[in-house]
Amino acid sequence: MMRFETEQNRLIARSGNECVQIEGWGENSLRVRASLNGFSQKDKALAPAAGNAVAKLTEDGARIENGLLRCEMHQSGWLAFYRGDVLLSKEYYRDFSWANGHSPSMKVRAREYRPLRGAEEYELTLRFEAQEGEKFFGMGQYQQPNLNLKGCMLELAQRNSQITVPFCLSSRGYGFLWNCAGIGETVFGENMTRWTCLSGREIDYWITAGETPREILEQYTAVTGRAPAFPVDALGLWQSKLRYRTQDEVLSVAREYHRRGLKLDVIVIDFFHWDYQGDWSFDPRYFPDPAAMTQELKELGVRCMVSVWPTVDRKSVNYEKMRELGLFVRTERGSVQCFDFQGDTVIYDATNPEARKYIWDRVKENYYDKGIELFWLDEAEPEYSAYDFDHYRYHVGPVLKEGNSYPMYHAKAFYDGLKAAGQEAPVSLLRSAWIGSQKYAALVWSGDIQSTFEGLRDQLSGGLNIGLAGIPWWTCDTGGFFGDVTQPHFAELLVRWFEFSAFSPVLRLHGDRGPHDIPNLSDLDHGGGFSPTGRDNELWSYGEEVYAILKKYLAIRLSMREYLHSVMEEASRNGSPVMRTLFYEFPQDSRCWEIDDEYMLGSEYLVAPVLAQGVTRRTVYLPAGEWENIHDGKRYFGGEYLADAPLDVIPVYRLCRRD
């Protein structure tokens, strides 16, 4: 049985060695911590937040309330959460002291601490009852078509194209944050929801209640952070490929866009423009005058972005100094190596403040001071040759315990540096994120994905769910990353993907276009000339029919710049995603909680992308109100329609009036 203590903003309960502490943490929200060995002083992903919670004892336990959210704690130790009289969620309990109609013989409790041999940490497990009909959304980005995550098992780990942001939004009117950076797993099962962490000292979660998804996201981002202002001059086209190998190649592409009268906002210089990984500088043999290059690009109205990897080759000019200073990710056994892609490399430790300063100082000297203001933070998970998470250790602790936070610290290194250098609206492109990455101007992209219609379908769900996890700036490789331009239907795929990307937060054209039959510039095993390049990937690279369609959607995109800017401002103001599920805008419409192949761009545009090969018509559901087809101006009212979608048309409707 639990022993209770109450304070103005806190409820404390003890039984044996376990202590549970519940306190108000933001509006309509509670933070719950449970431990056998006391609590850390870290807020982790949460910013300090006042709460007006009131705790008191009851006949069979205790309760604590903060605004709309009430937590009841039974004498046996399990917790239940309510909004008014509505049960939102309750912990799973099957033990002798309280059975509630279930078998007491299982001896299963909600909170489990499995000791790790010889360590102070435990393998932690938290269980909740499954609620009939409940749907879950958010959790970051996973390569799967499932928008509703009910029935899914999700690894809590960062990988190339997998992004863990462990916050979920429930259709029952609450949001739940697993406030733990450790490697683990979440199972949204039909019989229970289970959260695990492979190594930790305490169970730590945060829960919030709201009348609408918008309220829930606003309360969540109030305590984890919101995206800053997005640069208006980066809302158009980002041109990229694997890879522009020389200064002349970069300038020739930018000049051709200008000659054709096509507005280009950003051009990207991808990896291996350096001599060795970890030099964080241009190879002067292929980029002899970066300052002159960026100056000409600026005169053409184009900003330049460069790829920066966290990997450091043993032959790099920075390796020995960084090794002496202890700025690398450590290995727990064997040789010190993290990644072996085109070099024997280690990884700088972004969780170490000294390491973050070191990399930014090199980047500022070699890039920023030469006119580069945008950085592509590739490999930001970071990527390992093998994802053996128990093999690595960061400044903040073992990867098993702290690993998922790395990309957030990596984004912080560049955000802090850019702000100190005077950038008012910085933005960095990253391949991974964690809770709070949004406040460090992280534009997240979905990693190295396949050029298939299945891959395109996965990106829709991934982009919507990461927005519901608090990361509003998201993009993907338009056309997919791994693609062969000679394959049948590649042009169709590229067009459909470009149409989708034109109505996403950032329009970015990128990919490794095969076949790879272009000779290297150098026979050396290092430097800017030895790594291969893919086929051309500009708007005009795929024939006149494709070019005409891509130009059409670039023009539509540019015409929406002011609107997109207002949507970005809303994300900064209240945490709303840029790409939104239909239920985010129309939560009272039950159909909107079921639809997973349409979305809203901001609050005004409903987008129904074509996600399969050969499709030229598709069903579109419009919530109650009056809508205008942006292509022909025809008006429609709420209901289901069969929309024409020839290759040059993605069905999009502007909301004229809500009912």
Domain-located, residue 131 = yes
The half-sphere exposure of 64 on its side-chain side, counting CA atoms within 13 A, is 28
Domain-located, residue 646 = yes
Domain-located, residue 187 = yes
pLDDT of residue 97: 62
Domain-located, residue 368 = no
pLDDT of residue 390: 96
Q: Does residue 515 have a cis peptide bond before it, meaning omega lies within 30 degrees of 0? A: yes
Pairing label, strands 266-269, 303-308:
parallel
Pick from 224, 255, 272: which residue ends a domain? 224
Rounded to whole angstroms, the Cα distance separating 398 from 301 reads 45
What is the CATH number for 625? 2.60.40.1180
Pick from 174, 204, 224: which residue ends a domain? 224
pLDDT of residue 100: 64
Domain-located, residue 484 = no
Q: Does residue 587 have a cis peptide bond before it, meaning omega lies within 30 degrees of 0? A: no
pLDDT of residue 98: 58
Domain-located, residue 75 = yes
| Residues 612/622, Cβ–Cβ less than 8 Å | no
| Residues 451/511, Cβ–Cβ less than 8 Å | yes
Domain hosting 37: range is 3-224
Pairing label, strands 474-475, 442-445:
parallel
Rounded to whole angstroms, the Cα distance separating 244 from 304 reads 12
Token pair of 257, please?
């866009």
Rounded to whole angstroms, the Cα distance separating 317 from 250 reads 26
Phi, psi of 294 (to 5 degrees): -65, -30
pLDDT of residue 41: 77
Q: What total of structural domains would you count in the chain?
A: 2
Domain-located, residue 262 = no
Strand arrangement of the beta sheet that strand 330-331 belongs to = 330-331, 392-394, 397-398
Rounded to whole angstroms, the Cα distance separating 322 from 395 reads 14
Residue 652 to residues 122, 392, 618, 630, Cα–Cα distance (Å): 50, 47, 12, 6
pLDDT of residue 275: 97
pLDDT of residue 176: 98
pLDDT along the chain (659 residues), means of 10: 89 96 97 93 90 91 96 94 96 75 79 95 97 97 98 98 98 98 98 97 97 98 98 98 97 98 98 97 98 98 98 97 98 89 94 98 98 98 96 97 98 98 98 98 98 98 98 98 96 98 98 95 94 96 98 98 98 98 98 98 98 98 98 98 98 97
What is the CATH number for 116? 2.60.40.1760
Pick from 224, 250, 281: which residue ends a domain? 224
Question: pTM score, two decimals?
Answer: 0.97
Domain-located, residue 178 = yes
pLDDT of residue 9: 87
Contacts of 284 (CB under 8 A, 6+ apart): none
Residue 197 to residues 20, 90, 151, 180, 399, Cα–Cα distance (Å): 18, 20, 19, 8, 11
pLDDT of residue 406: 98
Nearest Cα to Cα of residue 190 among 253, 243, 128, 276: 128
Q: How many CB atoms lie within 10 A of CB 482?
A: 15
Rounded to whole angstroms, the Cα distance separating 323 from 200 reads 28
Phi, psi of 607 (to 5 degrees): -120, 130
Catalytically annotated residues: 378, 381, 448
Bridge partners (DSSP) of residue 640 are: 621
